[in-house]
Amino acid sequence: MSPMILNTIEVILNGLMAGVMYALVALGFVLIFKASGIFNYAQGVMALFAALTLVGFQTGQVPFSHLINVVFGTNYHHWSSGINSFLAILLTMLVMVGLAWLVERVVLRHLVNQEQIILFMATIGLAFFMEGLGDLMWGANIKVLDVGLPSGGSFWWEDVTREWASEGSEYYGMYIDVLDVWAAGIAIVLVIALTIFSQYTKTGRALRAVADDHQAALTVGISLRTIWVVVWSIAGFVALVAGIMWGSKSGIQFSLSLIALKALPVLILGGFTSIPGAIIGGLIIGVGEKLFEFGIGPLIGGATENWFAYVLALIFLMFRPQGLFGDKIIERV
Amino acid sequence: MNTAQNTGDALLSLKNISLSFGGVKALTDISFDILKGEIRAIIGPNGAGKSSMLNVINGFYHPQQGEVWFNGSLRGPLKPHEIARQGIARTFQNIALFKGMSTLDNLMTGRITKMNTNIFWQAIWKGKAEKEELEHREKVEHIIDFLEIQAIRKTPVGRLPYGLQKRVELGRALAAESKLLLLDEPMAGMNVEEKEDMCRFVLDVHEEFGTTIALIEHDMGVVMDIADRVVVLDYGKKIGDGYPDDVRADQNVIDAYLGVSHD
Ligand SMILES: Nc1ncnc2c1ncn2[C@@H]1O[C@H](COP(=O)(O)OP(=O)(O)OP(=O)(O)O)[C@@H](O)[C@H]1O
Ligand SMILES: [Mg+2]
């Protein structure tokens, strides 16, 4: 194979890995949107918050230490030198469930039957709140997250692919970050697990029922409030997974909540109500933007990754507004 | 047929129920009861308040006045899902199924009040959750056989023709094994054959499970055939209540159906 083809393959693979990340964030959006019709602007901040909390637990930080120290003139920062990653993940998950419960209690419960735009604005408020809460609890400095996932380029893959290059060409092999491969693997397992859960368990069916028809769900005895807590918890879990991946890769910093905005074009492609759509949409955007940057970027000055997804989404909006897999939009008259 | 006579206990009593929407009075001072084990029909012209009555019974509407007694105790202002848990199941005039889900899943979801393993066991799908799932599956298969809908077990119900959707909705309500079953025009829009089937199912359910049923129906033939007692509403008021034959002979009822003007 010529180095050109090999390079293209590398770009596609890297695009797929980036796409997994987008897909995960989009998945969180879709889950909440389906169950409650809310476009949760805070999904990205949830990932940020989850990752911050995870590092906080891992390194044994005292939550709100800054605040406590200011108010009481103390100097606490750590209550332990750190705890096991697995335990920290479990604790973080508990925090995310608590957060879901709180969101239902404080926000959703009071806004049932409100216009979508009001619910949407409530989630914008929620995003700012969680961002501030994250800062206040764990401090605003950039943090390193390491839960023990292997990372770095794969030499094995480099060697293998070097063999593929045609004789005599100068090709040094493909670069793939092992961390990305792990991330993709974990995401696949997560999606399969969620699918099985929603197909074959009581709560899974209740989730689908609520997503399908609120009135009918109430009639068979499903409590919408309980389901909302469950859905936001699951979205919190998905956010945690996304936060771990992104955090392991680029450190935990505010920009994490910005990549969540990339989920918007993903959703426009995949449809707001389709889980497979979120995944495939994420992959298409991931691959699309990398390929575009690789092929066309140099001709037009680069940095196309910042806007490519949005332009693609715009084009999509013109031709297929319901997305690839979304329910057909039929206006009721 | 008049099981009403040998039971005597009221499962549900409505006392002086009044319900209005803004200026519209949907129900005015309505009282009647449903005895354990009977088939109680609610009839009346369009807009009489029949569906509103069912909505009060299952908690979608909260009346401004009046009391609902269920199973011997006064009921507070409960939410529909809590009322479902107390043992009231229903179907809707315009069908409210989970359209994207299969017949089987719709019925399984109908049984949700009967299932009680917590989410943790479900998540790891072990022991209790698995056993419970299989148990309930068996019950649901029984209902599927009973309603003769084996052929559409796996079909997403949104794709089914209207008549079959009505049947699946009945199945979902049956799956709850409720004490009281509310049916809002289960035969509306059906052809003669489908109507006969539905009639048979309602009677069979009544016989086999002894379920108490409240039924809204426009077809007087059907009502006279299967109801033990009938309550008649018109413009939100109760204008008749009694055995089918008596109600049919009642001058007020005849007037209401013939559209004699109200003054
Ligand atoms: N949610 C609501 N908001 C406003 N008005 C309502 C509402 N529900 C019912 N009504 C009004 O209450 C009255 C009774 O309606 P209801 O649906 O109970 O009648 P019905 O006897 O079931 O009629 P039909 O035979 O056409 O089904 C009607 O005037 C209706 O417009
Ligand atoms: Mg009606």
The DSSP string of A138-170 is H-SS-B----S---SB-HHHHHHHHHHSPTT--
Average pLDDT value over all residues in chain A: 86
The reply to whether B166 and B222 lie within a common domain is no
Contact A92, A217 (CB under 8 A): no
Tell me, yes or no, whether A302 lies in a domain: yes
For ligand 1, whether the C-beta of B240 sits within 6 Å is no
My answer on whether B199 and B217 are in the same domain is yes
Would you place residue B6 in the very low, low, confident or very high pLDDT band (cuts 50, 70, 90)? very low
Averaged pLDDT, A167-191: 86
Would you say residue B158 lies in a domain?
Answer: yes
Write b or e for each residue in B209-238: b if 16 or more Cβ atoms lie within 10 A of its Cβ, otherwise e.
Answer: eebbbbbbbeeeebbeebbbbbbbbbbbbb
With contact defined as beta carbons under 8 Å apart, do A187 and A246 qualify? no
- For the segment B191-233, what is each residue's pLDDT rounded down to a tens digit? 888 899 999 999 999 998 889 999 999 888 888 889 999 999 9
Domain holding B109, by residue range, is 101-176
Domains identified in chain B, total number: 2
pLDDT reported for residue A322: 77
Q: Tell me if A205 and B101 make a contact (CB, 8 A cut-off).
A: yes
Partners of A208 on chain B (C-beta within 8 Å) are 98, 100-101, 105
pLDDT at B155: 94
Continuous H helices in A73-201: 85-103, 109-111, 116-138, 155-164, 178-200
Whether A26 is in a domain gets the answer yes
The pLDDT-based confidence of A142 (bands split at 50, 70, 90) is: confident
Residue A329 counted as domain residue: no
Same domain, B119 and B106: yes
**Which one of B176, B206, B239 terminates a domain?**
B176
Nearest-CA residue for ligand 1 atom 9 is B52
Angle at A190 between CA B100 and CA A100, to 5 degrees: 75
- Among A197, A221, A224, select the one facing B112 at the smallest CB separation: A221
Give a yes or no: residue B215 inside a domain. Answer: yes
* Residues A61-99 pLDDT 10s: 888 887 888 888 887 777 777 788 899 999 999 999 999
* Residue with the two structure tokens 């054959």: B193
pLDDT at site B164: 93
| Same-domain check for residues B231 and B206 | yes
Pocket test for ligand 1, best of B17, B18, B21 (most atoms within 8 A of CB): B21
| pLDDT, tens digit (0-9, with 9 covering 90-100), for A32-55 | 888 888 888 888 899 999 999 999
In a domain? residue B96: no
Region of poorest pLDDT, from A75-79, A228-232, B142-146: A75-79
Q: Look at residue B197 and tell me if it is in a domain.
A: yes
Q: Are A57 and A92 in contact (CB under 8 A)?
A: yes
Q: Which domain holds residue A233?
A: 3-319
Interface of A with B (CB under 8 A): 196-197, 200-206, 208-209, 211-213, 215-224, 230
Which of B7-11, B152-156, B216-220 has the least mean pLDDT? Answer: B7-11
pLDDT tier for residue B121 given thresholds of 50, 70 and 90: low
Q: From the CA of A222, how many Å to the nearest CA of chain B? A: 6
| Ligand with smallest separation from the Cα of B47 | 1
Q: Show which of B145, B176, B207 is a domain's final residue.
A: B176
Residues B52 and B171 grouped into a single domain: no
* Binary contact (B96, A223; C-beta < 8 A): no
Please tell me whether residues B35 and B7 are part of one structural domain: yes
Mean pLDDT along residues A111-123: 86
Ligand 1 atom, smallest distance to B236 CA: 14
The rounded distance, in Å, linking the Cα atoms of A64 and A135 is: 9
What's the B20 CA to ligand 1 centre distance in angstroms? 10
User: How much distance in Å is there from the Cα of A183 to the middle of ligand 2?
Assistant: 54
Question: Is A327 domain-assigned?
Answer: no
Q: Would you say residue A125 lies in a domain?
A: yes
Residue-wise pLDDT for A282-332, tens only, equals 999 999 999 999 988 888 888 888 889 999 989 888 888 777 776 655 444
Chain centre distance of CA B82: 16
Residue nearest to atom 31 of ligand 1 (CA): B47
Please indicate, yes or no, whether residues B216 and B258 belong to a single structural domain of this protein. Answer: yes
Residue A155: per-residue pLDDT = 85
* Residue that is last in its domain, among B119, B149, B176: B176
Atom of ligand 1 nearest to the CA of B218: 25
Separation of alpha carbons B14 and B28, rounded Å = 12
Arithmetic mean of pLDDT, B57-86: 94
Q: A230 and B100 in contact by Cβ < 8 A?
A: no
Does some domain include residue B69?
Answer: yes
Out of A9-13, B106-110, B186-190, B243-247, the most confident range is B106-110
Residue A62 DSSP one-character state: P
CATH number at residue B186: 3.40.50.300
Helix then strand then coil, in percent of chain B rounded to 5, is 45, 25, 30
Q: Is B21 in the pocket of ligand 1 (CB under 6 A)?
A: yes
- Residue A306 and residue A12: Cα distance in Å, rounded? 18
Q: Indicate whether B134 and B117 sit together in one domain.
A: yes
Q: Would residue B94 count as lying in a domain?
A: no
* A326 inside domain: no
**B55 C-alpha vs ligand 2 centroid, how far in Å?**
10
Tell me, yes or no, whether B71 and B114 share the same domain: no
Domain annotation covers residue B249? yes
**B171 and B182: one domain?**
no
Q: Which of A109, A112, A219, A231 to mutate to test the interface with B (most CBs of B within 10 A)?
A: A219
Once rounded to an integer, what is the mean pLDDT over residues B19-36? 93
Test the B interface: residue of A197, A210, A220, A224 with most B CBs within 10 Å? A220
Is residue A55 included in any domain, yes or no? yes
Radius of gyration of chain B (CA): 19
pLDDT band at B5 (very low <50, low <70, confident <90, very high): very low
Q: State pLDDT tens for residues B85-106.
A: 999 999 999 999 999 999 999 9
Residue B105 lies in a domain: yes
Q: What is the pLDDT of residue B12?
A: 95
- Whether B84 sits inside 8 A of A209 (CB atoms) is no
Count of domains forming chain A? 1
B122–A230 CB contact, under 8 Å: no
Residues B191 and B260 in one domain: yes
Shared-domain flag, residues B184 and B81: yes
Evaluate whether residue A328 is within a structural domain.
no
